[in-house]
Structure 1
Amino acid sequence: MASTLHIQDEILPEQILQATLQLYLKHGLKKVTMDDVSKVIGKSRSVLYYYYKNKDEIFDAVMEMLIRNVVAEIKQAVDKARSIQGKIRAFGLVKIKVSEDKQAVFAAMESGMNADEISRHTKTINDIHIQLMNAESDLLKAVFAEGMQKGEIRPLTAMEQDTLIFILLSGIRGIRREMRNKEDFSHLKPTVDVLTAMTMKWLNG
């Protein structure tokens, strides 16, 4: 019995967050209530309040879930690549793709919100951005560590790694932003290939 309850405690919060996300996408963040969520998951409001005290807590948890999903998708692509060059390339391509997908999610969530309402959630979104950058940095550091261990790249100091990660993440964000502004991602692969080649040249310099 205790084991069953433990499994339910793990599954139900995930169901709540997935249901809430779908409601956000359909109606926008502003219009979704705790009642709406409880109806979708088929549970009473008291069950919902057991896990989340209010709408803001659910919103924060949904954001954290999205970040976990983003990092997991990027990591999966990176892990499939065999060489460090392939891993860096996969990181750039998938990060841009996933970020674009999530941009549409954020736009749908903000639908119908005024400037003040959006502003209230800005801190959470900024905090989530920092969490994402930290997770991506850890992922790239693991790639570099593997590359150094296998002798694919030269030894790097901690400062060199931090600097390169900053350049890579900033460069990838810049590529995505400019291509989104032009509404043209047709040159994404060759662009990431050049960034990867430049990175590898420095790593082997």
Structure 2
Amino acid sequence: MHFITEQDIQFENRKTPLSKFFLASDDRLTPGARQYLIDHQIKVVDSNSKVDSVTTTVEDVEKKTEELNQNFQLLELELQDAALKANEVDLAASQRIFSLSEMPVKIQQNQVVDSLEEIVPSKEEQSQLNKQNLLTPQGKILIKLKRSQVVANGLKGQTTDSQSDSLDSLIQCIDNEIHLLIGEGHDGSE
């Protein structure tokens, strides 16, 4: 992550007057830089956007960043809630889900997330919830895990390619956990 200061922008603006400022995906503005852009009515072109050449104001970039932060936090909270519910039914599942709940922060901070496969054994088919699954003791956990997948899928459109790939891995791990819980619900073991 690279922080752009007010002095950086002033230097660029002196060389060539800016009407737009291009913000790379790993760049962040300091408060002084943000205020300078606002004061000089310089538009920010956000490279995080999936749409090319989208011109936004600094406030728009801040709003998108805040929304992204909140969605990562929501994903973390959904997984933590699922882990707490799992604690009442299956301690091993609870521990696996708590491990998964640590991943959103790592993904958001662009940390390498390559150990997801170790958390939950892989399954090949996509899990589908039905009424029978939801009426088991694991039902509330299953719903929370599915909600987590929905949040993670929503985040994919707002993140960098590497973060999106990590979110795909997380979604697959959540799906694997759902498979394990459904299997436990069918054979009666906890």
**Could you state the TM-score of these two structures normalised by the residue count of structure 1?**
0.29
Q: Greater helix percent: which structure?
A: 1
Which of 1 and 2 has higher RCO (CA within 8 Å, sep 6+)?
1
**Could you state the TM-score of these two structures normalised by the residue count of structure 2?**
0.30
Q: Greater strand percent: which structure?
A: 2
